[in-house]
């Protein structure tokens, strides 16, 4: 059984009084101990999908269909009390900006204690403190006892993200949802956090859903990648296949648009136009208005084609054989 199984998930946001789909029938799995990269530009639905896995949707967001199973639990069927224990217990989440997800008026020690009060009420105070120091050390914070007494503002961005990961680790979750966890960090710190996430998987077998717009980090960290566009997955593949031979025109454009000092001479690929708005989705393929290969066949919704271990939502592979 995969760590996360998302089936035909549709999520809507209420805009001007009407529900508008932000996710359309998304199906995706994260295998046990797998790191799945979820890639796309802003507004494509990747953060909505990440939140939905823990039934964390912003106000106005609603599950209109489909199911999410995490570590054997049907997430949408959990009672509020079960959900509270499930979040942070079997599945944990870390965010882009650790400063806004930590409470500024509590010390790190206090925030860890709050988590333990919900999830680990039976242990003695000494055992809990021991455990808190343990996880802070595990995530590479040099002086756990000092960090325990520190307020978030006294820590650097990298240290705060380590604290978030320590909080997530506390209960040995089967699944970690990481929403742009390195986007706000400097490049040398980013490399350290990516290494820490890889260690977490290798050491504890934690499955990770890694949401990112940074294709470099995804290539470095992930086993498999799902590319999203306008609320749908347009391509899923093993990381090596995706980067070596992207099939969907959007994936190809995205890879060509990333600047690299190793490819100085080349002009970057640009994608004309903008993604469709939630309120006015095009008929047929959502990418067609921006796609250099679009033809008459793209006016109807493209099928999800399965090719050797990957899926592509495009008529093109069929057309080109």
Centroid of chain to Cα 169: 17
Closer CB to another protein, 100 or 156, in the complex: 156
| DSSP three-state, residue 303 | coil
* Shortest reach from residue 109's CB to another protein, in Å: 22
Distance CA 136, CA 147 (A): 8
Distance CA 65, CA 42 (A): 23
* Shortest reach from residue 77's CB to another protein, in Å: 36
Closer CB to another protein, 76 or 243, in the complex: 243
Rounded to 10 degrees, the C-alpha dihedral 41/42/43/46 comes to: 70
Distance CA 176, CA 35 (A): 9
* Shortest reach from residue 99's CB to another protein, in Å: 13
In 175-294, alpha helices (H): 187-204, 215-221, 239-244, 249-256
Closer CB to another protein, 110 or 274, in the complex: 274
* Shortest reach from residue 155's CB to another protein, in Å: 10
Closer CB to another protein, 160 or 232, in the complex: 160
Q: Which residues bind another protein (CB under 8 A)?
A: 41-42, 156-159, 186-192, 194-195, 213-220, 239-240, 243-244, 253-255, 257-264, 267-271, 274
Distance CA 283, CA 280 (A): 9
Closer CB to another protein, 79 or 260, in the complex: 260
* Shortest reach from residue 287's CB to another protein, in Å: 11
Closer CB to another protein, 258 or 307, in the complex: 258
* Shortest reach from residue 260's CB to another protein, in Å: 5
Instruction: Give me 122's structure tokens.
Output: 């039976």
Centroid of chain to Cα 158: 19
Centroid of chain to Cα 199: 18
């Amino acid at each position: 059984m995969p760590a996360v199984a998302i089936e035909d998930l549709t999520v809507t946001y209420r805009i001007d009084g009407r529900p508008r789909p932000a996710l359309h029938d998304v199906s995706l799995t994260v295998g046990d101990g797998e790191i799945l990269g979820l890639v796309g530009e802003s507004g494509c639905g990747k953060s909505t999908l990440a939140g939905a896995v823990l039934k964390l949707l912003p106000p106005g967001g609603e599950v209109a269909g489909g199911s999410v199973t995490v570590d054997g639990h049907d997430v949408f069927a959990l009672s509020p009390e079960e959900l509270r224990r499930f979040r942070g217990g079997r599945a944990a989440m870390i965010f882009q900006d650790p400063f806004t997800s930590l409470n500024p008026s509590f010390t790190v020690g206090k925030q860890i204690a709050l988590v333990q009060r919900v999830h680990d009420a039976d242990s003695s105070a000494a055992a809990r403190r021991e455990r808190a120091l343990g996880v802070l050390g595990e995530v590479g914070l040099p002086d756990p006892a000092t960090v325990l007494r520190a307020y978030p503002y006294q820590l650097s961005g990298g240290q705060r993200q380590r604290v978030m990961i320590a909080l997530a680790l506390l209960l040995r979750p089967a699944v970690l949802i990481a929403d742009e966890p390195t986007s706000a960090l400097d490049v040398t710190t980013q490399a350290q956090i990516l290494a820490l996430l890889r260690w977490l998987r290798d050491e504890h077998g934690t499955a990770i859903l890694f949401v990112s717009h940074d294709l470099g980090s995804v290539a470095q960290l992930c086993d498999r990648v799902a590319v999203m566009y306008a609320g749908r997955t347009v391509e899923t593949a093993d990381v090596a296949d995706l980067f070596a031979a992207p099939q969907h025109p959007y994936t190809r454009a995205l890879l060509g648009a990333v600047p690299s000092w190793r490819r100085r001479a080349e002009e970057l690929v640009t994608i004309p136009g903008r993604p469709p708005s939630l309120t006015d989705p095009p008929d047929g393929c959502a990418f067609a208005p921006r796609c250099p290969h679009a033809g008459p066949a793209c006016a109807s919704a493209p099928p999800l084609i399965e090719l050797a271990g990957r899926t592509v939502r495009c008529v093109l592979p069929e057309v080109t054989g």
